[in-house]
Each structure stands twice: as C-alpha cells, then as structure tokens.
Amino acid sequence: MNSDGTQDARGTWAGPVPRPAGSPEHFAVPPMPTEAPGVPAVPDGSAFLAWVRAPRPPAAPGVWRFGYRPRPEQEPEQIPGRQLLSGALIAFLVGWLVWSLLSNGYLGSWWILPLFLLTPDSWRQSGNHGEIFNLILWDGYDLLIVLGIMLAAGRLGRWGEVWRRFVAPHLKRRAPRQAPPAPEEDPAQWNQLRAAGAHDAADRLAAEAGAGLMRDVDHARIARAWQGVLTGRHTLATFTGAVLKDGAAACLHPSGERDLPARLARHDLISGQVRLGTTVDDPRNPYAYRGSGLALGPELLGTSLVAIGPSGSGKTSSVVWPLAESLCLHALAGRAAVVVVGAAGAGLGPADAYDVVVRIGHPESVYDLDLYGGTTDPDEAAAVLAEALVGDLADPQPGADSRRSTTVLAQLLGPYRAVHGRFPTVPELRRLLDAAPGPLAALRKALQDTGQDSLLRELDARERQSGHPGDVGGVLADRVALLDRPAFAQFFDTSGQSRPFSLRALDHPVRVRIDLPERGHADASRILARLVLAQFTAGVAAREDRSLFACLVLDDATGVVTPETVRGIQRLRSANAGAVLTLRTLDDVPRPLRGPLLGATGCRMALSGLTPWDGQDFAEVWGKEWTETRDVTDRQIIAETPAGKALHMLRRVITGHAPTARAVTVRQVERERWSASELAHAVPPGHAVLSLTNVKGEHAPPLLVDLRG
C-alpha cells in the first residue's frame, strides 16, 4: 500500500540494505523471542511496568530525567551537621528547663491565667463534674503549654532540618512500594490508543506488558508507529491490525531485531536519553545540576557535539560507544538513522549491532562504499568528491581550492557518465585527471559519435587547462592515487558488481558502521572520513522525510574539519540531524577553523588531560560570568590605655597571636567560567567539562562530569 521504496529498485543500491516499510503491514515479523538479547527475563513484567511508570519530570538540558527529583536553583544555607545536632539538643534542653521551672512554680503562676479567663469557675470545681473532667481540663492545658514550648524550641533548634537530613532518607529507603497508578493515569494502559477508539489494541499491549513480553525497544517502536497514525502516514486500521496480530512484536525493524546483542550504557527510550555519567557535586557546577545524572539525547545531539581529549581519556569508551549504542536503539525503534565511522578495531560495538558494516580495505567486507554518494548529478558528485580530496589543504597550490577542484571534476564526470551511464572507477578517474591521451581521446570520440556538443566543450576546456603549470588536476590525481592502491582494488566499484552503501539511505532507520583502514593508509582514511562527512551533510539536507533523526558519529576527526565542514555542521540542526566529532587535540584543526568549529557545535566537551592551548580555546568560547568574591583583611588592634595593653599582652601570651580586627569586602567581578589552567590541570582523570545546547536554544553552562559514574 505504502511501500516507501522498499519494493522498488533504486540506482543507489546494488544490494539489499535493510530498510523499513512505510506502513505496519509491510513489516516482516519473525517468531517472537522469549527473551530480548542482553535483557534479563522478567516473568511478570514488573520491572518493565516500573520502568514505564517511573517519573520523568521536565529538567534542564543534560539532566538524566529517569526518576529525577528537581533541586532548587540556588543552594540553601547548609549548616554543619555537628552544629545542627548540638543546636537541636540544646534547644530541647532549654525547653525542658523552661517547662520544669513553670511546673514547679519558680516562675510564678502567670502562665495559668488564660485558663482562668477562658473557662467558668464551675469547670474547675472537681465536685461539679468529677475528678476525670477536672483531670482532663488541667492536664489538657498543661499539654498545650508543653506543645507550645516544644514548637518554639523546635523552631529555634531547626528540628525540621534534622528530620529532613538524618531521619527522612532512612524512612524513604524502608518505605513500602507505592501502588499502581489509577488506570486513567497509567502509561502502561496505552490510554492514547483507547482515546482514539483502538481499545482492542490497547488491551493486547497492556496484557503483554504485564506478562513480561514487552521491552523498552518494543514500547518505543510501537509509540513511534502510533505517531505515524496521528500524522496521517498510516491508517488506524492498519496499525490496529498489526498490533492485534503480533502484539509487542508489531511494526518490527526490517532486520527483525528487537534489541541489541548487549548493552553497556544505561538507556531510557521514553525520554530518548543515554546516561554518560554524573555531574560532580562541585562548587563550580550550578547547584541544580550537582549530583544528578548527565545524559544526552537527540534533542542535544541535534546541535552536534565535539569532544576533545588525548588518547586514553575515554573519548571512545565513555562517549562515542554509548552514543552509538543509544542511536542504534533509536534506529530499532524507527526513530533514527546512524552512521558510525572509525578505525578498524576501535571498539565501536559488535557487527551484530549494525545492519550494514563497511570494512574498507578488508577483503571479506560484504558492503562497499559509494564513492559518489549515490547521486546521478555530475556537479553534485564533483562537489562532494572535491571536498574529500582537497578540502583539507590549508595552504593549497594556486587554484587548488574546492571550487576549482569541483569544476575540474565536473568537466570529467559529466562527459564520462553521458558515455558510459555511470561514473568512473578510481583507476579510471586517476587516468583522466592525469590527462592520459588514450582515455581522453576515447571519451572525445564517444561524445562526437553521440553528438553531445555541450559535454564536448567541457572536455575541451579540461584538455586546455591540463597543460598549465597551475592546473589543479595534478593535485587531484595525487590524492586519488591514495585510493588507487591494491588494498582497495575491490572497493569503490561503479560497475554494479559490488554492494555499495550510499548515505542517501538515511531516510530509513538504518544502522551503519564504516571501518577505515587507518593502519598503513592514514592519508586515505582521512580522505574517506571527509568523503563520508561531506556525503552525510549533503544527504540529510536532501531528505524529503525529516522525521527521522540522522546522526554521524566520527570517532577521530583528525584532518576532517574544513571550512565546508563547519558550514555543513551549522546546517544540520534544521535538517533534524547532528554530528559527533572527537579529536585528540585542537591542533589537528587549522588555526582559523578552531573558533568556528566550537561555535558551530552546540555541545562541547573537554576531557581530562587537555593542553593549556586547547583549554584557552574552550575558555574563550565559554566566556565569562559575574561572580561574588570576598576579600578578607586582618588589621592589628592597637591599645591606647594601660589596661588595654595589658589585656592584649595577656591575649598574645595565651593565643600566640596579636589581637586583630577582620574586615570583609564583597565584590562582583567578571571571571572565566573555566580558565585554560583549570581545564588543563583541575579536571581529574575520567572526568570532563561539558557545555550543552538543545535544538530549542536552551543551554547548560560548562559542567564538571564524572564519566565513570
């Protein structure tokens, strides 16, 4: 009915890459597993129901919302525990003393005067009403006096604070579990389906949730399919039929997977977050963030993230892999498309966690990489390829800029495609750029035979320019030669004999991992990394359906950041896409691009071990803030009288210090949020300083985060 291209042949696909269908009836449903991989079995579904019903209150950007309890914006006055307990005890003893003095008559009998004024004399006569009534009257009045004294003593002794700090936490741990919420407020009852009339589907899902047959990915995937019903992409009848047929296994991802093989990080697919660590209880962090979990989600990754830290600081294990794992879960739920790029063996997750694994340079790789990004437009292919080949040249040879390179490539790609119906392979492109007479003559003859005069003029212009000393063709040929190696002989094929992956597929929830051949081919790996990034920024901008969040995770962006890269990252937010880039140092980025790179990304992370030079760039982009400083000065007191001098001498003998008067000056000064020296020397191992901005423009100041918590 709505095939969304899954039943059609596409020129950018030479092999069957998993892609989802447009409506629930096209999802292939395998036999439902009794246990999701990597998730412990729960016979009665109690853990899943507790997860669904857990509170997730609104919070500031980056706060782990699962079970979060908001804190005040400003830190309340914190009294030391010993002082608090001693003050409470002293207040109790004072109250006891006051009551003892009153009851024994040492303070007179004025305190019983209200009883005589407010009650008739007959009430106080034991003969009229009996001993019991008289006892209740007098003892009740004494009790009121005692309560009044205790209330005053409790207020002075801060008994409420003692209760909240030392008693209440222990009672909360021992408190019994709360009952299930009311059915009309229970998220496990799928009330949004019931409100739309799909009672049977809601009953089926609620029953499977209670029976332990549903997992968090199932919940997120079905909720995503329901959003498709609300937006009109699917019909209610189709959705209801899929749920009644397959229950929690309805609307499966095309891979048939309902979970990842294993999980290393903590995920919450209702809020869409993955927990990276804990915000340190440090005075430099805002009080509302201290002690809370630090988590990222698509709403933050949509502004892109750059993480800087030396080798061993935890970029891959603590940042890249948890984010890649989260995005793969989102893809299984039909919410996202993810491309993870890194060196082979970099620890980016098992191959089973991905739908497509491209191992460039590995002879057993199932998939190839489309060198031209799946486009059929020669100009577009030339622009992307030029960015990959020469975009990193900070001081290029005359004419070797991207625009000239794009023109040169377009002069060759257009005529070649018109003749052969495809773009040239790497060896063919190298010979054309080298202006070899044989290939150019053959191409010229084919154009003349077909009467394509406009393309013939393009080829003539290329031949005229190739003889000039400043021609950029030689630079391009040298860069293409890095890809024309025996290790890559089976890759970048354009004849249809391989299974190339194209980043044009990011309008589907696909999980992709691209392994770069960094060992022995460092320059080629950087070209390929720039190629993937350029294809990604071009591909997500051309998507018609932007409801899927698309994200590129680049484990090592050394030599990748170019002026066009920075401009492309700035455009990702409007395309519901983002990029995650990691660098060992900002020295791997050309100096003129360091500030623009940090300015183009909304999330910036400085890990431990940063150099002061890198710290200076972060300090500049994070700016300054107004803070309160206290200057304390001690001034010696000079006695003028003999008695005063004697007293001062006695005090000096006893204390060893001269009598002084302390003066405190409070000022508002502007200082850096984090200085370069603090970033270089005050960030402990396993920690990072992270600032955040979400797609709505809300931001969090730089936070010191423990990535091990």
For the segment 150-163, what is each residue's pLDDT rounded down to a tens digit?
A: 898 888 888 888 88
Burial degree of 401 (CB within 10 A; 0-12, 13-18, 19+): middle
Summarised one tens digit per residue, pLDDT across range 626-641 is 887 888 887 788 888 8
The helix/strand/coil state of 640 is: coil
- Answer left, alpha or beta for residue 47, where phi above 0 means left and psi between -120 and 50 means alpha: alpha
Work out the pLDDT band at 225, boundaries 50, 70, 90. very high
> Buried (b) or exposed (e) across 329-352, using 16+ Cβ within 10 A?
bbbbbbbbbbbbbbbbebebbeee
Residue the block writes with tokens 């990222």: 296
According to DSSP H, which parts of 248-320 are helical? 298-301, 315
* Region of poorest pLDDT, from 218-222, 499-503, 532-536: 499-503
Say how many residues make up the chain.
Answer: 709
Listed residue (358, 321, 372, 326) closest to 535, CA to CA: 372
* Region of poorest pLDDT, from 371-380, 486-495, 623-632, 651-660: 651-660
- Alpha-carbon distance of 198 to 230, in angstroms, equals 13
Summarised one tens digit per residue, pLDDT across range 20-37 is 333 333 333 333 333 333
Work out the pLDDT band at 666, boundaries 50, 70, 90. confident
Work out the pLDDT band at 144, boundaries 50, 70, 90. confident
Residue the block writes with tokens 């399919």: 225
- Answer left, alpha or beta for residue 311, where phi above 0 means left and psi between -120 and 50 means alpha: beta
- Alpha-carbon distance of 21 to 530, in angstroms, equals 31
- At a CB cut-off of 8 Å and minimum separation 6, what does 58 contact? 65
Q: Average of pLDDT values for 188-205? A: 93
- At a CB cut-off of 8 Å and minimum separation 6, what does 468 contact? none
Amino acid of residue 549: F
Determine contact, residues 56/68, Cβ cutoff 8 Å.
Answer: yes
Q: What are phi and psi of 409, to 5 degrees?
A: -65, -40
> Buried (b) or exposed (e) across 222-231, using 16+ Cβ within 10 A?
bbbbbebbee
- Alpha-carbon distance of 272 to 65, in angstroms, equals 10
According to DSSP H, which parts of 421-551 are helical? 426-433, 437-450, 453-465, 473-481, 522-541
Q: What 3 state SS string does 551-601 have? A: EEEECCCCCCCCHHHHHHHHHHHHHCEEEEEEECCHHHCCHHHHHHHHHHC
The structure tokens listed for 303 are: 């502004």
The helix/strand/coil state of 180 is: coil
Considering only residues 78 and 287, tell me which one the structure prediction assigns the higher pLDDT: 287
The helix/strand/coil state of 22 is: coil
- Alpha-carbon distance of 361 to 517, in angstroms, equals 6
Summarised one tens digit per residue, pLDDT across range 306-333 is 999 999 899 999 999 999 999 999 999 9
The half-sphere exposure of 205 on its side-chain side, counting CA atoms within 13 A, is 32
With vertex at residue 409, the alpha carbon angle to CA 555 and CA 558, rounded to the nearest 5 degrees, is: 20
Listed residue (154, 135, 146) closest to 101, CA to CA: 146
Beta-strand ranges (E) seen in 298-350 are 305-308, 336-343
Summarised one tens digit per residue, pLDDT across range 347-399 is 898 999 999 999 999 988 999 999 998 899 999 999 999 999 998 875 544 44
Q: What is the pLDDT of residue 6?
A: 31
Rounded mean pLDDT of the chain?
85
The structure tokens listed for 164 are: 């909240």
How many C-beta neighbours within 10 Å does residue 320 have?
A: 26
Beta strands at 500-501 and 368-369: parallel, antiparallel or unpaired: parallel
Considering only residues 659 and 702, tell me which one the structure prediction assigns the higher pLDDT: 702
Q: How far is CA 46 from the centre of its chain?
A: 28
Determine contact, residues 436/428, Cβ cutoff 8 Å.
Answer: no
Sign of CA dihedral 442, 444, 447, 448: negative
Amino acid of residue 68: Y
Work out the pLDDT band at 401, boundaries 50, 70, 90. low
Beta strands at 699-706 and 687-693: parallel, antiparallel or unpaired: antiparallel
% of the chain with per-residue pLDDT over 90: 54
Determine contact, residues 369/529, Cβ cutoff 8 Å.
Answer: no
Sign of CA dihedral 460, 465, 467, 472: negative
Using CA atoms, how far residue 218 sits from 21, 67, 247, 274, 356, in Å, is 17, 21, 10, 17, 22
Q: What is the pLDDT of residue 43?
A: 52
- Alpha-carbon distance of 454 to 470, in angstroms, equals 25
Q: What is the pLDDT of residue 261?
A: 93
Q: What is the pLDDT of residue 66?
A: 95
Q: What is the pLDDT of residue 161?
A: 85
Considering only residues 15 and 131, tell me which one the structure prediction assigns the higher pLDDT: 131
How many C-beta neighbours within 10 Å does residue 679 have?
A: 28
Q: How far is CA 539 from the centre of its chain?
A: 22
Residue the block writes with tokens 């630079």: 475
pLDDT of 481 > 50? The answer is yes
- Alpha-carbon distance of 425 to 678, in angstroms, equals 51
The half-sphere exposure of 57 on its side-chain side, counting CA atoms within 13 A, is 7
- Alpha-carbon distance of 211 to 188, in angstroms, equals 12
Using CA atoms, how far residue 689 sits from 316, 432, 692, in Å, is 16, 49, 10
pTM over 0.85: no
Residue 167 DSSP one-character state: I
Determine contact, residues 534/564, Cβ cutoff 8 Å.
Answer: yes
Q: What is the pLDDT of residue 291?
A: 92
pLDDT of 684 > 60? The answer is yes
Residue 424 DSSP one-character state: -
- Alpha-carbon distance of 542 to 568, in angstroms, equals 13
Summarised one tens digit per residue, pLDDT across range 572-595 is 999 999 999 999 999 999 999 999
Work out the pLDDT band at 124, boundaries 50, 70, 90. low
Determine contact, residues 343/525, Cβ cutoff 8 Å.
Answer: yes
Using CA atoms, how far residue 446 sits from 332, 437, 466, 642, 647, in Å, is 48, 14, 20, 117, 112
Q: What is the pLDDT of residue 659?
A: 80
Work out the pLDDT band at 176, boundaries 50, 70, 90. low
Q: What is the pLDDT of residue 498?
A: 83
Considering only residues 666 and 688, tell me which one the structure prediction assigns the higher pLDDT: 688
- Alpha-carbon distance of 470 to 490, in angstroms, equals 33
- Alpha-carbon distance of 269 to 258, in angstroms, equals 13
Torsion of CA 675, 680, 684, 686, to 10 degrees: 110
Determine contact, residues 513/357, Cβ cutoff 8 Å.
Answer: yes
Q: What is the pLDDT of residue 595?
A: 93
Listed residue (679, 705, 522, 523) closest to 598, CA to CA: 679
Q: What is the pLDDT of residue 1?
A: 35
